[in-house]
Structure 1
């Protein structure tokens, strides 16, 4: 498909020309020039030009929907041609969040490939939500509360999240006793992780403050929390070992992240799904143990 079409789809997904360009390794200036060239070629304005917000025009919305359908059809054609109709074989593109992929997916991949030696695996680790159509992704691991209706979701487990901090940070900054006390503390979150939606008893609380350090890396936030930079909302699968070892302690242990957030394996809704996809999802269900992530030493709490 025309690379300018891919750029337009990426810009619509990420909410800006600059972000869409970054996803494809293109500068913001070049992205703007290429979209302008595409609009000139089509004789239609696709994007409203504004310094404050990104929005597709009516023509842009229609064109975006049609391009997504074309990309999905190309993906299915690729599946058919590659011969992935009977047994797991051929190219299999997998996407996963960086930390979860490194900790829980990567160690399992050798066993999966031994079981299915005809699979040609490629893995993308990213903390952003990858467009499965534009990225030609067969299966993605998503940690989220809601999955778009365009995707088929298979929930693998809960992603229970807790507030935590290093003992050294709390010794210096003091221990928060109430939700309101968090306003006096440094909060740490990667881009897209704010606002925090917490469950405090039966009450829902939203915390929306800038992170003390801005980064697109959730792994960096974990390291900053361990080094005593502030308070973070982290998944137990990510910090359970640090809590058990005392390198982190729970903050406001009566609070936790929304229970709606789960770990999902997702793929495009299609009449033809590559056999490697259900094989991989079944393999994850067999090998992952979500209950183990909740087995944290509850005595490691501040206060």
Structure 2
């Protein structure tokens, strides 16, 4: 069974972020993409995407469908390829690009199992916080934390990227704990260059946090270490600070608020990936379902409820 074209179209629209970008990726006109999306929504009897002047956003039911199809479509393609004999055993060079901190914490621990399962793969990791050009840098697959996957490539969503406001117990003991987003203006904020202002969300509410970092740095890793050292308050991804939150070395500030939910962790590759690429992405998807950093946060929250 081939993938439903409407499913592919729907996923492409959300992955690329716009009707126009999806049209370029699919080789169609924007008008035709819009018409087919409307027809698909009518067929299902549900609105899947909210159209705004700036960006498209999935409705709750659309987000669930997107998550389901993100796992189903690659598996369906792989299954069909196996039937036709197109998939060989993963082998040969495999160049993966990823952000340094994320790779150290959440990719490196799974490399051993992957290579034991696929001993013929020759793995090379290229770590950088800069966006790489897959073609120019000869990268087979990039693990990227982004709200806007690049057009012209396949972007498989592997996990969300929840961000929370946090500080060390020592900082809060000395400076007090803000009880509203506006109160953050009286505190020492920590962020790498380009990471301020912050957008914080809670149900039906949004807050914009302006300011400058108490320590200027271009390194997100330094921001994490400064936060642990009690220098200030930071907005950090759970994948980065989940362990510190679970251990009590950091504490969530304004726990009802989180960073904007636009960022997600994607695997980016071309539309004809080699077996080694498919195997590597599937390997990570399995290890991050559910994301282990989300489990850490949930466990810490449960412990705090029990204490109270």
TM-score interval, normalised by the smaller of the two chains? 0.5 to 0.7
Report the Cα distance in structure 2 between the residues aligned to 1:96 and 1:117, rounded to whole angstroms: 21
Report the Cα distance in structure 2 between the residues aligned to 1:225 and 1:261, rounded to whole angstroms: 22
Indicate the residue corresponding to 2:278 in structure 1.
Answer: 278
| 3-state SS, counterpart of residue 129 of structure 1 | coil
- Conserved in 1, the CA contact under 8 Å of 2:239 and 2:293? yes
TM-score by length of 2: 0.65
- Conserved in 2, the CA contact under 8 Å of 1:244 and 1:300? no
- Conserved in 1, the CA contact under 8 Å of 2:243 and 2:293? no
- Conserved in 2, the CA contact under 8 Å of 1:157 and 1:263? yes
State the shift of 1:119 in Å. 1.5
| 3-state SS, counterpart of residue 137 of structure 1 | coil
Indicate the residue corresponding to 2:82 in structure 1.
Answer: none
Report the Cα distance in structure 1 between the residues aligned to 2:193 and 2:167, rounded to whole angstroms: 19
Indicate the residue corresponding to 1:67 in structure 2.
Answer: none
| 3-state SS, counterpart of residue 223 of structure 2 | helix
Report the Cα distance in structure 2 between the residues aligned to 1:265 and 1:206, rounded to whole angstroms: 30
Q: CA 1:208 to 1:134, structure 2 compared with 1: closer, same or farther past 3 Å?
A: farther
Indicate the residue corresponding to 1:226 in structure 2.
Answer: 228
- Conserved in 1, the CA contact under 8 Å of 2:182 and 2:209? no
State the shift of 1:249 in Å. 0.6
Pairwise CA RMSD = 2.2
Residues 1:108 and 2:105 are matched in the alignment: no
Q: CA 1:291 to 1:247, structure 2 compared with 1: closer, same or farther past 3 Å?
A: same
State the shift of 1:85 in Å. 7.8
Structure 1 gap ranges (5+)? 1-83
The correspondence of residues 1-303 of structure 1 with structure 2, limited to 5 A, is: 86-268=88-270, 270=271, 272-295=272-295, 296=297, 297-298=300-301
Query: Any runs of at least 4 consecutive aligned residues in structure 1 with deviations exceeding 4 A, and if so which?
Result: none
- Conserved in 1, the CA contact under 8 Å of 2:199 and 2:259? yes
Structure 2 gap ranges (5+)? 1-85
Aligned residue pair count: 217
Q: CA 1:192 to 1:236, structure 2 compared with 1: closer, same or farther past 3 Å?
A: same
TM-score by length of 1: 0.66
Report the Cα distance in structure 1 between the residues aligned to 2:162 and 2:194, rounded to whole angstroms: 18
Write out per-residue CA displacement over residues 191-223 of structure 1, whole angstroms, 9 at most, x where no aligned residue. Answer: 333332211331222223322222232221111
